[in-house]
Amino acid sequence: MTASTATSLSAALYARAQAVLPGGVSRNTVLRDPHPLYAKSASGPRVTDVEGVERIDFANNMASLIHGHAHPEIVAAVTEQLSKGTAFTLATEIEIRFAEHLCSRNENFEKIRFVNSGTEAVMGSLKAARAYTGRPKIAKLEGAYHGLYDYAEVSQTSNPTNWGSLDYPEKVPTAHGTPSSVLSDVVIIPFNDPERALTILDQHQRELACVVLDLMPHRAGLAPATSEFVSAIRDWTLGDGSLLVFDEVITFRSAYGGAQDWYQVRPDLTALGKLIGGGFPVGAIAGRGDVMDVMNPHASPVLFPHSGTFSANPITMTAGLTAMELFDRQAIDRVNGLARRAIEGIEDAIGTTGVTACVTGGGSMFRVHLKDRPPQNYRDAFLTPHESRRLKTLLDHLFDSGLMMINTCSATMSTAMDEGDVDALVDAMDAGFAELVRG
What are the catalytic residues?
Answer: 145, 247, 274
Neighbouring CB atoms inside 10 A of 231's CB total 15
Find how far residue 122's CA is from the centre of its chain.
12
Q: Rounded to whole angstroms, how far apart are CA atoms 402 and 412?
A: 16
Contact call for residues 95 and 344 (beta carbons, < 8 A): no
Residue of 304, 313, 255 lying closest to 282 (CA atoms):
313
Residue of 167, 231, 172 lying closest to 196 (CA atoms):
167
Residue of 113, 181, 125, 117 lying closest to 150 (CA atoms):
181
| Coil, helix or strand at residue 246 | strand
Q: What is the dihedral of CA 393, 404, 316, 243, to 10 degrees?
A: -40
Neighbouring CB atoms inside 10 A of 427's CB total 14
Residue of 26, 85, 60 lying closest to 415 (CA atoms):
60
Which residues are registered as beta bridge partners of 283?
115, 273
Alpha carbon separation from 156 to 146, 188, 231, 369 (Å, rounded): 8, 10, 23, 19
Contact call for residues 268 and 130 (beta carbons, < 8 A): no
Would you give the DSSP letter of residue 416?
T
Element (H, E) at 141: strand 137-141
Contact call for residues 49 and 38 (beta carbons, < 8 A): yes
| Coil, helix or strand at residue 144 | coil
Would you give the DSSP letter of residue 410?
E
Alpha carbon separation from 88 to 80, 204, 298, 312, 320 (Å, rounded): 16, 44, 22, 10, 18
Contact call for residues 118 and 281 (beta carbons, < 8 A): no
Would you give the DSSP letter of residue 161?
T
